[in-house]
Amino acid sequence: MINLNYFNPWWRTGRVDKKLTGRKRRIFEEVLKYMDLRQILMFTGLRRVGKTTLMFQIIDWLIKEKNINPVKILYYSFDEVAGSIEEIISTYEKEILKDNISEQKIYLFFDEIQKLEDWSSKIKVFYDIYANIKIFISGSASLNLVKNTRESLVGRFFDFLIDTLDFEEYLEFKNIKIDKEMEKTFEVNLIKSFEDFLKSGGFIEALEIEDIKLARYFREGIIEQLIFKDLPATFSINYPDLLYKIVKIIASRPGIYLDYKNIAQDLKYDQRTISDYVSYLEYSMLVRKVFNYSSNYLTTEKKMKRAYLTNSAFNYATNGVSDFSLIVEQYFIDFFKAKYFYRSPQKEEVDIILKGTDNPIPLEIKIRNVIGKEDLIPIFKFLKKFKLQKGYIITKNTEYTYKSSDYSIEAIPYWKYWTIRDKTGLIL
């Protein structure tokens, strides 16, 4: 028998406990814009980024601001208790509503939905039958990467990526006052805060954890949970230890080329198994694939790919690379949600290619004391090849604009968060 009262204390108290709602982030106001639409709201993101908290905040808002009867709001977490949607709804109708859900406006919140087998088909049935129901779902995975999910729910949902805190939010949560119009004045504070931010990864819970305990928090609370619990529950995984080995390899070599044949030979596993396991890690949001840029999409898909972890904190937790410049490179890959890098036939590379509204934007990361001419050559050649005018290089402390003929490269120090964000426009 499913105990729905356990998940829904507001049925008894008429309110959501403040301990569950936490501090609101910017994403909350964005979600509210879609509340009056019928479509399902899908929240995806890593474990512990605040998806459940966001759900509780919405429930709290419905009760306080929209005066919705708490009994008309059902929350259920598949992460804690197994169950079927049919059984949950049947129990809800008989024991709580004492009526059919089709007769009234109902709000359904299903947390960690990826734990439910064939969840997209089951959600689709309820969505299609009951026009009066507003459905919210969350998952600690890229739910729309699951085969057939987009096809079965096409036009029926809006997807929100619930990410870790960005650097600006991190400063707000830590109550660190910085005038973003005067970054240079706050240079020392920004550098120290940025280094701390990389260790916490922007996870809210991690902000109050001592550095000495952070690695264990991320390793046991997120990485091992995903590898040894979540992924085996979703896919047929015979070698979970292999997943961990792949994560550690990528952690020690951010931007590693995904040469599945060589990795398979080194680890003594089948090449197809390595390819599948990397895809599983991508689904779990632990690993990000980045593609070699081409103006032709099909060519891009066929070219060799690179892999990064999705958060700098995971590098520290797995005893990965300790080179600060590589940690910063990984951070900016994640910051831009980078999809592309560039490697020419002559093996000249540019770390990130941003897809602009009209033209691509090349961006290189060089965290070193001196930027030499050789560091600029790949970007200038990219600009010339694709008939562009401007690129960027993120540096340790160099701030300068390099020019050659009709091309220019603007150098910006890595700690100038707002300058980088505003200059590039965060074009994803």
Interval 38-59: pLDDT, tens: 999 999 999 899 999 999 999 9
CATH of residue 307's domain is: 1.10.10.10
Regarding whether 211 and 114 lie in a shared domain, the answer is: no
Q: Which domain holds residue 387?
A: 170-424
**Dihedral angle over CA of 256, 261, 263, 268, nearest 10:** 180
Measured distance CA(386)–CA(356) in Å, rounded: 13
Regarding whether 235 and 156 lie in a shared domain, the answer is: no
Residue 352: how many CA atoms within 13 Å on its side-chain side?
A: 28
- What is the share, in percent, of the chain residues with pLDDT greater than 90? 77
Regarding whether 135 and 175 lie in a shared domain, the answer is: no
Q: 306 has which bridge partners?
A: 257, 290
The number of folded domains in the chain is 2
Domain end point (choices 127, 161, 195): 161
Three-class DSSP category at 72: helix
CATH of residue 8's domain is: 3.40.50.300
Higher pLDDT among residues 88 and 152, named by residue: 88
Mean pLDDT of 310-338: 91
Regarding whether 148 and 285 lie in a shared domain, the answer is: no
What is the average pLDDT value for the chain, to the nearest integer? 91
Regarding whether 76 and 50 lie in a shared domain, the answer is: yes
pLDDT range class, residue 301, cuts 50, 70, 90: low
pTM strictly above 0.85: yes
Measured distance CA(201)–CA(286) in Å, rounded: 13
Regarding whether 207 and 135 lie in a shared domain, the answer is: no
Q: What is the pLDDT of residue 43?
A: 94
DSSP letter at 92? I
Regarding whether 215 and 149 lie in a shared domain, the answer is: no
List pLDDT tens digits, range 108-165.
999 998 888 888 888 988 899 999 999 999 988 775 545 556 667 888 899 999 999 9
70 pLDDT exceeds 70?
A: yes
Domain end point (choices 161, 193, 223): 161
List pLDDT tens digits, range 339-381.
999 999 999 999 999 986 678 999 999 999 999 999 999 999 9
Beta strands in 195-351 (DSSP E): 256-257, 287-292, 305-309, 340-343, 349-350
